[in-house]
Homo-oligomer: A and B are copies of this chain.
Amino acid sequence: MGETAASTTTGATRGRPRSERVRLAILAAAADLLIEGGMAAATMEGIAARAGVSKATIYKWWPSRGQLALDSFFNRTKDSIAVDRSLPLAAALITQLDALCTLFRDTPSGALMRELAAAAQADPDVREALEERWLRPRRAVGRRLLADAVARGELPVRLDLEVTLDQLYAPIYHRLLFGHQPLGRDLPARLVAQALPGLAAPEPGPTTPGSSPESSIAATERG
């Protein structure tokens, strides 16, 4: 990956140094094309043309289209995963889940993530990078919040941590990828309420409560 390779080149730069301008142009062009037309539109030739760059330069720094897509996604998505640990557990969780939902719903990152998830099915390197650089850090935040709450006695000791994390995050990706249900604004709060019923359902953080309350048993199948 470009960034990794660049960082490993410690000192002793022999030859013409790598152009940062070029690197950014490639990442930007890739992201643009991915958003506009998905993987099908983001051909290496198209990216090279749009970035005003030679194809060979791209291949020199990225081994595959998937890896490039990955890098362009991370370059675009400045999504902070830091969480205010002074917040009550429910609010902290909802805040993080809402950031994810909003990112996927209201920015091009949703489309990018869909393409990346698709690319990950064909390219093990992409899958691994996606897990390590995207999924794992976010799960780590959630895991820490839950573990702290268990330690404080707010959650039962027998809590199934990994499964709970899946039940909080997976529905968001599931809806993004399959579209069987919308990524509604109230989804984060409902996910937390359903997964951790012992907690009082508090202020839903940044969500606008009451908007499109698809909730409760009345909700039926879409379509």
Which A residues form the contact surface with B (CB < 8 A)? Answer: 38-40, 114-115, 117-122, 127, 130-132, 135-136, 139-140, 143, 147, 150, 157-164, 166-167, 169-171, 173-175, 177-181, 187, 190-191, 193-195, 197, 214-217, 219-221, 223
Q: Which residue of B lies closest to A127 (CB)?
A: B179
Q: Find out whether the CB atom of B139 lies under 8 angstroms from the CB atom of A180.
A: yes
CB distance from A83 to the nearest CB of B (A): 17
User: Can you name 24 A-B residue pairings with CB atoms under 8 Å?
Assistant: A39-B122, A115-B121, A117-B121, A118-B122, A120-B178, A127-B178, A127-B179, A131-B178, A135-B180, A157-B216, A157-B217, A158-B216, A160-B190, A161-B219, A161-B220, A162-B214, A162-B219, A163-B187, A164-B194, A166-B170, A167-B195, A170-B170, A170-B171, A173-B178
Known: A117-B177, A161-B219. 11 other contacts (CB 8 A): A117-B117, A118-B121, A120-B177, A130-B178, A136-B223, A139-B180, A157-B217, A159-B217, A160-B193, A160-B215, A170-B174
Q: What B residues does A169 contact at CB under 8 A?
A: 174
Q: Chain copies in the assembly?
A: 4
Enumerate chain B residues within 8 angstroms of A160, measured Cβ to Cβ.
190, 193-194, 215-217, 219
Residues of B within 8 A of A173 (CB): 170, 174, 177-178
Contact yes or no, B174 A166, CB < 8 A: yes
- Bound-complex Cα distance A67 to B158 (A): 45
CB-based contact B190/A163 at 8 Å: yes
Interface centre among A119, A120, A127, A177 (most CB of B within 10 A): A177
A35 shortest CB reach to chain B, Å: 13
